């Protein structure tokens, strides 16, 4: 196996760890494409090490900086969203690692699917915004959509060999974030610095805030619905602070299968990249000695309302999850810049969802227009 990879968002948390998996398995992978949004310095460093055929820097203002270093090394350099959509279609790409954060990952994934490229999906917003459309495109183009999120990887692993057996429910585990034991009154005063200290996982700023508000878990509920073709009422969120059980599947005979391991994203990344094979690695193992307390309880959706809003968006269908995602990206950015309070983020998202017109069967053009309109409305509600 020498799988040629395009890693979209290579300078982010998942992208960096995907490259660690490449390093761990010399000879199994080569890197054809690397892309970044803004971090030109790290993109240059990665390109000099992995020697891709092409790199894309989305921020056109950084194009000259990247080009000056890499073109003399024989590496093509391009910039902009159009370039992202083009590079994933190259003949020297076998699999696309979709590690970009947020709505920006949607169009490159669609382009890759249309080109018949298998997807290792870390960009959950792709399925949150347009899950119905993406799954239909994957089916029509014979493309495998392999989950990278630890929870969805866990479910995927639990379902291997169970194709003929009926699922009673999926149990998505949730760390609960840094504020899981906070009462509402205390949440009124928390700030971004506190929210960025996650107890278990090392993630980028946006995803860490989503984890603190439980929006990340809400997105994972929506993602699970499309990945596994299961109805929302069969997807249950369970708070598991230790992040050792990554998720579970309960079958109709009452049996429950769980996938366990350390809170280390390199494990699910490697599983997606190597599937259906399991390949050895030197990553740290989980030890049951001294780690006997594994606890589980229900989330409080009265305090962490984003999870309830995600279920509502999934239930309504159409473009509601697109509105949810767009408003969330706006409020998270505002919270990170101290322009809105922690609890007010849910208020703005809920109000935005009530003010954008419902579209039952949106096209890709509808999704693009809806995303733009929802962002404008959310910003109006903040400012």
Nearest to 116 by CA among 144, 92, 136, 135: 144
The pLDDT value given to residue 288: 83
Least confident of 234-238, 284-288, 338-342, 345-349: 284-288
Q: Which of 156, 15, 150, 42 is nearest to 96 (CA)?
A: 15
Q: Residue 168 pLDDT more than 80? A: yes
Q: Is 263 helix (H, G, I), strand (E, B) or coil?
A: coil
In the structure, what pLDDT confidence band is assigned to residue 383 with cuts at 50, 70 and 90? confident
- For 91-119, letters b (16+ CB in 10 Å) and e give eebbbbbbbbbbbbbbbbbbbbbebebbb
**pLDDT tens by residue, 67-93:** 999 999 999 999 999 999 999 999 999
For residue 101, name the pLDDT band (cuts at 50, 70, 90): confident
Per-residue pLDDT reduced to its tens digit, 293-311: 899 999 999 999 999 999 9
The answer on pLDDT for 289 being more than 90 is no
Residue 202 has pLDDT above 70, yes or no: no
* Mean pLDDT across 261-281: 95
Residue 204 has pLDDT above 90, yes or no: no
Average the pLDDT over 237-261 and give the result. 96
Per-residue model confidence (pLDDT) at position 160: 95
In angstroms, how far is CA 20 from the centroid of its own chain? 18
Please enumerate, as own/partner, the contacts of 131-140 that have beta carbons within 8 Å and a separation of 24 or more: 131/222, 131/223, 131/225, 131/226, 131/321, 132/226, 133/362, 133/364, 133/367, 134/109, 134/110, 134/226, 135/226, 135/229, 137/110, 137/113, 138/113
Residue 60 banded pLDDT, cuts 50, 70, 90: very high
Helix (H, G, I), strand (E, B) or coil at 147: strand
pTM: 0.93
- CB of 209 closer than 8 Å to CB of 349: no
Distance CA 219, CA 124 (A): 7
Which domains can be identified in the chain, with CATH numbers? 3-147 (3.40.50.720), 152-304 (no CATH), 317-383 (1.10.1740.10)
The residues near 311 (Cβ < 8 Å, ≥ 6 apart) are 218, 221, 232
**Which H helix or E strand runs over 218?**
helix 215-228
Strands (E), 240-380: 245-251, 256-260
Phi, psi (degrees; rounded to nearest 5) at 250: -105, 125
The pLDDT value recorded for residue 201 is: 63
**Digit-coded pLDDT (tens) for 321-355:** 999 999 999 999 999 999 999 999 999 999 999 99
Question: Once rounded to an integer, what is the mean pLDDT over residues 185-206?
Answer: 84
pLDDT higher at 254 or 26: 254
| Percentage of residues in the chain having pLDDT higher than 70 | 98
Sign of the CA dihedral with 10 first, then 14, 20, and 21 last: negative
What average pLDDT score do residues 163-179 get?
Answer: 94
Q: What is the model's pLDDT at position 119? A: 98
pLDDT band at 39 (very low <50, low <70, confident <90, very high): very high
């Amino acid at each position: 196996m020498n799988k040629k990879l395009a890693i979209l968002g290579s300078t982010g948390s998942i992208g960096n760890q995907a490259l660690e998996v490449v390093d761990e398995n010399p000879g199994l992978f080569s890197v054809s494409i690397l892309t970044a949004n803004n971090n030109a310095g790290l993109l240059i460093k990665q390109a000099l090490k992995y020697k891709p055929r092409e790199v894309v820097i989305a921020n056109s203002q950084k194009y000259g900086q990247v080009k000056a270093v890499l073109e003399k090394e024989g590496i093509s350099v391009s910039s902009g969203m159009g370039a992202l959509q083009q590079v994933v279609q190259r003949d020297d790409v076998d699999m696309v690692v979709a590690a970009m954060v947020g709505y920006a990952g949607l169009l490159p994934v669609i382009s890759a699917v249309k080109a018949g490229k298998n997807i290792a999906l870390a960009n959950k917003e792709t399925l949150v915004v347009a899950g119905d459309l993406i799954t239909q495109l994957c089916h029509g183009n014979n493309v495998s959509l392999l989950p990278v999120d630890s929870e969805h990887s866990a479910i995927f692993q639990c379902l291997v060999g169970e194709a003929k057996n009926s699922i009673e429910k999926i149990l998505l585990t949730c760390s609960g974030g840094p504020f899981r034991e906070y009462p509402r009154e205390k949440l009124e005063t928390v700030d971004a610095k506190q929210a960025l200290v996650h107890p278990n996982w090392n993630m980028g700023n946006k995803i860490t805030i989503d984890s603190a508000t439980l929006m990340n878990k809400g997105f994972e509920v929506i993602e699970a619905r499309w990945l596994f073709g299961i109805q929302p009422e069969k997807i249950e969120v369970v708070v598991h602070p230790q992040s050792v059980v990554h998720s579970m599947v309960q079958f109709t005979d009452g049996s429950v299968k769980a996938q366990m391991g350390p809170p280390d994203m390199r494990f699910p990344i490697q599983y997606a990249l190597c599937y259906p094979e399991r390949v050895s690695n030197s990553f740290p193992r989980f030890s049951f000695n001294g780690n006997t307390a594994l606890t589980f309880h229900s989330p409080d959706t009265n305090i962490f309302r984003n999870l309830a809003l995600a279920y509502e968006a999934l239930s309504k269908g159409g473009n509601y999850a697109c509105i949810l995602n767009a408003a969330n990206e706006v409020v998270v950015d505002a919270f990170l810049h101290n322009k809105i309070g922690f609890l007010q983020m849910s208020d703005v998202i809920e109000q935005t969802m009530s003010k954008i017109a419902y579209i039952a069967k949106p096209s890709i053009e509808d999704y693009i227009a809806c995303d733009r309109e929802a962002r404008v409305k959310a910003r109006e509600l903040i400012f």
